[in-house]
Amino acid sequence: MQIAPSILSSDFARLKEEIESIKNCDMVHIDVMDGHFVPNLTFGAPVVKCIRKYTELFFDCHLMISNPLKYAKDFAAAGADLITFHYESDNDPKEVIDEIRRLGCKVGISVKPKTDIKEIDKYLDLVDLVLIMSVEPGFGGQSFMPEVLDKVRYLKSLKKKFVIEIDGGIDDKTIIQAKEAGVDICVAGSYIFKQKDRIETIKKLKSV
Ligand code: DX5
Ligand code: ZN
């Protein structure tokens, strides 16, 4: 299992050290919220640019914003490796995919828990990653919604080349359900950042 710690649950005043404490992860999950697409605000591209100076880790930017078409270039310039946008955003998904590709980043598409997975069928050959939300986007520390695992099973059954990531409520127990359904990458925020020894925690989660 690949592990993507979400720095949403980290101490923002000590971001450099917080990223150092998760250095054996597969990628850093960066939750960008605009207070419009979701009822919460986090940070933007300037913060991503600052932390880029201190780590070579792969940056997985999860844009929970209404207008990814407008802002994707700022995140690419700031050092994002993968940019995931929401299918439910205000933009045309195909245009966003083309823009992220043009910028030279890997492309992810995400769906909220209530969105029918079949709605993104026509984009599946165009993306590198599908992010299944297992909580309503907006906040860390919510409970995992096991019913979204049907979407993972459906995606897996298609045998396509994208990888499957899941985000929300992942801990040492829910990760087992995710694994069984066919998830490749688990995002975990509060579970990892509340631990003292994050290196050991990530090691354990990876071995699932
Ligand atoms: C929710 C974010 C998640 C969140 C996960 O909107 O996309 O990445 O930080 O946090 P936990 O692991 O605490 O559910
Ligand atoms: Zn996220």
Q: What are the pLDDT digits (tens) for 69-119?
A: 999 999 999 999 999 999 999 999 999 999 999 999 999 999 999 999 999
The residues annotated with a catalytic role in the active site are 31, 167
Question: pLDDT of 139-174, one tens digit each?
Answer: 999 999 999 999 999 999 999 999 999 999 999 999
User: Chain-wide mean pLDDT for the chain?
Assistant: 98
| pLDDT value for 167 | 98
CB neighbour burial string for 108-141, b if at least 16 within 10 angstroms, e if fewer: bbbbbeebebeebeebeeebbbbbbbbbebbbbe
Question: In a mutational test of the pocket of ligand 1, which residue from 3, 7, 9 has the highest number of ligand atoms less than 8 Å from its CB?
Answer: 9
* Nearest ligand by distance to the CA of 145: 1
- Residue 157 CA, ligand 1 centroid: distance in Å: 26
| pLDDT value for 150 | 98
Task: Say whether domain 2-206 belongs to CATH 3.40.50.1260.
Answer: no
Distance CA 61, CA 29 (A): 6
Q: Is the CB of 108 under 6 A from ligand 1?
A: no
DSSP-derived letter for residue 149 is H
Residues 6+ apart with CB under 8 A from 57: 19, 23, 25, 27, 28
| pLDDT value for 100 | 99
Given the CA of residue 8, which atom of ligand 1 is nearest to it?
Answer: 9
**Could you give the angle at the alpha carbon of 126 between the alpha carbons of 103 and 169, nearest 5°?**
90
The domains of the chain are located at: 2-206
Q: Is the CB of 167 under 6 A from ligand 1?
A: yes
**Average pLDDT, integer, range 21-37:** 98
Minimal-distance CA residue to ligand 1 atom 9: 140
Distance CA 51, CA 29 (A): 12
- Residue 159 CA, ligand 2 centroid: distance in Å: 24
Name the 3-class secondary structure at 206: helix
Whether the predicted model's global pTM rises above the 0.95 cut: yes
Q: Which two tokens stand for residue 36?
A: 């419009």
**Average pLDDT, integer, range 24-35:** 98
**Average pLDDT, integer, range 1-14:** 98
Q: How confident is the model at residue 60 (pLDDT cuts 50, 70, 90)?
A: very high
Residue 159, phi-psi category: left (phi > 0), alpha (psi -120 to 50), beta (remainder): left
Question: pLDDT of 105-129, one tens digit each?
Answer: 999 999 999 999 999 999 999 999 9
| pLDDT value for 23 | 98
